[in-house]
Amino acid sequence: MSHTPRSLRSRAVLTCGLLVAPLMAGVSGCAGSPDPLSAKPYDAADQISFSGDGDGRKADPDKPLEVTAKGDDSRITDVTATDAAGRYVRGELAHDGKHWRSTVPLAAGAHYTLKVSTEDSNGAPGRRTVDFTTSSARRLLKVTFGPKAGEYGVGQPITAKLSRPVKDPSARAVIERALKVDSRPAVEGVWHWVDSRNLHYRPQEYWPAHATITAHSNLKGIRIGGGLYGGDAKSLRLTTGDRLEALTDSGTHQMTVKRNGVPIRTIPITTGMPGFDTRNGIKVVLAKESAVRMTGASIGLGAGSYDLMVYWAARVTKSGEYVHAAPWSTGSQGYANVSHGCTGMSTANAEWFFNTVRLGDIVQVVHSNGDDMAPFSNGYGDWNMAWADWRKGSAVSGGQSDDTTADSARLRPQV
């Protein structure tokens, strides 16, 4: 018959009921009946079993870890389970002390240490310590952070590309909570699901100037759902430079370049003519090409319309919008819009701009008759989305976004 710890301790007290001042009398009452709670724990291997025991197989991470007391004359008093990093696995012990069960998922391919304390019918303590490993995941989800490590402008989003599509909202939440982005100085930011395989991270405003930003994943070994587990991910570290912003005004035909809020140069420009109007909105420098070939055929014009080598070109959209040298249109720069969508300027100004900006710097176009810059399908248009809408694209902060289809129009350089 099993007893509660209280009844067991009461029995131990009764066996010493006739002892009167043993130290003063110089006799050792209760000889041969020591307090069982003070005894050295015995090996409780025969009194308990756990779900990963017995046949040499690794524990299944898809199932909870369970510890059970054998027979009627023993009970479990305490269970601790920790991974190789010392992190505890939460669990629940039944009221009768007969069963303990983990309440959080185990990681796949991970090593754990299980420590179980027991008590027999006489109140004597037992202990068993077991090391075990969970089986490796069959389907792994790997994460690749972007961009490459280095120094960028304050408009550069952090990206995470998944090796497999994930659409289930609960699985997305598991992933998102495990992808960490930290910055010094600290700013609040949120992941946004661009589609089922791509996430972007940005703060509410631009990154601070001269910040250090790190991204890493805690997803390795974590059960995501549907038999999918987190895999390896290489961490990312990047820094920002000065806050550099180029405001392109298609109405006044001027570009104002600011460094840390202070104007440093005003440049006469020309932007897209009617029918080829430059996109409005905030863009981010994607690449710098000292020379790029641009042809009319690439944007649907006749093969003989133009075929030029263009110099000092800073790319701002995937579809081929650049800020570049346009010596053939210097007479219109500052007065009229005559390009096929790019922002043109003199060779000297273009070389200065090319050497001044870095990837991730901001180029904002206003007062154009063109379409608005898309948030995701044509480069980094992330900053054109209001913060409240951005947060709705998070699986943790307020919902998910639908998959975004690519902009198929004008996918080659414009001039």
CB contact at 8 A, 390 and 398: no
Q: Which of 200, 207, 202, 201 is nearest to 185 (CA)?
A: 207
Give the Cα separation of 43 and 211 in Å (integer): 55
- How far from 181 is each of 218, 269, 286, CA to CA, in Å? 11, 38, 21
Cβ atoms of 251 and 220 within 8 Å: the answer is no
Strands lying side by side in the sheet with 139-141 = 139-141, 228-230, 223-225
Check: CB of residue 315 under 8 Å from CB of residue 406. no
Residue with tokens 């480069």: 379
Q: Which residues contact 208 (CB under 8 A, 6 or more apart)?
A: 154, 183, 185, 187, 240
Cβ pair 130, 146 in contact under 8 A: no
b (16+ CB within 10 A) / e for 306-332: eeeebbbbbbbbbbbbbbbbbeebbeb
CA-based nearest residue to 12, from 131, 127, 162, 122: 122
The DSSP secondary-structure symbol of 58 reads P
Q: Which amino acid is at 80?
A: T
DSSP 8-state symbol, 185: S
Residue indicated by tokens 């549907």? 226
Q: Could you count the other beta carbons within 10 Å of the beta carbon of residue 46?
A: 12
Active site residues: 324, 342
